[in-house]
Amino acid sequence: MEFTLYHNPRCKKSREALQFLEEKGIRFKTVKYLDQKLDPKALAAILSKINLKPSEILRKNELLWKKDFSSKNLNEDQILQLQVENPKLIERPIVTGPESGVLARPLENLVDFLKGN
C-alpha cells in the first residue's frame, strides 16, 4: 500500500512525520501542498479520507486567519475554498492511503493509523 504525505518542510511536526515514515520503511509519496496547491475537489477528497471538516484542519493561529477571517462567520464550503486559496491555513501533516487517512498531529495519530493499515 502506498501512502501520501501532505507536507510542509518548514513545519517541525511535518518533518517528524516524514522521518517516521522513512525510518519505518513505509512507501509514500510527498506532496508539498504549499507548492503543489490543491484544488477544491482534491482537498475535499482528503477531508473525506481523514473524516474531518475543513474547520477541523484550519490553522486558527495563523496571522492571516486572525487578521482577515476569524471575525467572519464562514461555512465549511467557504473555509475549504479559503484553504485552497491559502494552503498555509491547512493543518499538517496529513497522511492518506487509498481509502483512509489521518491528521498526523500529534505523531501518535500516525502511529495508530498505521497499526490499522
Active-site residues, by number, are 11
Strands 28-31 and 3-6: parallel
Cβ-count burial of 107 within 10 angstroms (0-12 exposed, 13-18 middle, 19+ buried)?
middle
Angle between helices 107-115 and 12-23 (to 10 degrees): 30
CA 117/CA 53 separation, integer angstroms: 22
Residue whose C-alpha cell reads 502511529 in the numeric block:
111
Nearest CA among 99, 75, 81, 88 for reference residue 44? 81
